[in-house]
Amino acid sequence: MIVNFNILNGGISWKALIHQLNGDILLRHILMKGNVDDINLKLSYCEETCEGSITNSNNQLIGNFSISF
């Protein structure tokens, strides 16, 4: 599956091929390529829309992601 990441600050976006959907894998990609200044990120994901949001430790939206199979 392919994950499309978007980080709002700086307009950073990229795609990644992953074989298993879990939070640790998603966080690793975000921390490596997202140029984020907060490592305490929270992810939420909707299985119906295959879309998720990325929030920081202050519960502010900093980005989103979507999954395509």
Query: pLDDT band at 1, cuts 50/70/90?
Result: very high
For residue 69, give the DSSP letter.
-
pLDDT, residue 18, reads: 97
Of 35, 40, 44, 36, nearest to 64 by C-alpha is 44
pLDDT, residue 65, reads: 98
d(CA 69, CA 62): 24
State the DSSP string of 1-65: -EEEEEETTTTEEEEEE-SS--HHHHHHHHHHHS--S-S--EEEEETTTTEEEEE-TTS-EEEEE
| Overall average pLDDT of the 23-33 stretch | 96
pLDDT, residue 42, reads: 98
pLDDT, residue 54, reads: 98
Per-domain boundaries in the chain: 2-62
What's the predicted TM-score (pTM) here? 0.93
pLDDT, residue 63, reads: 98
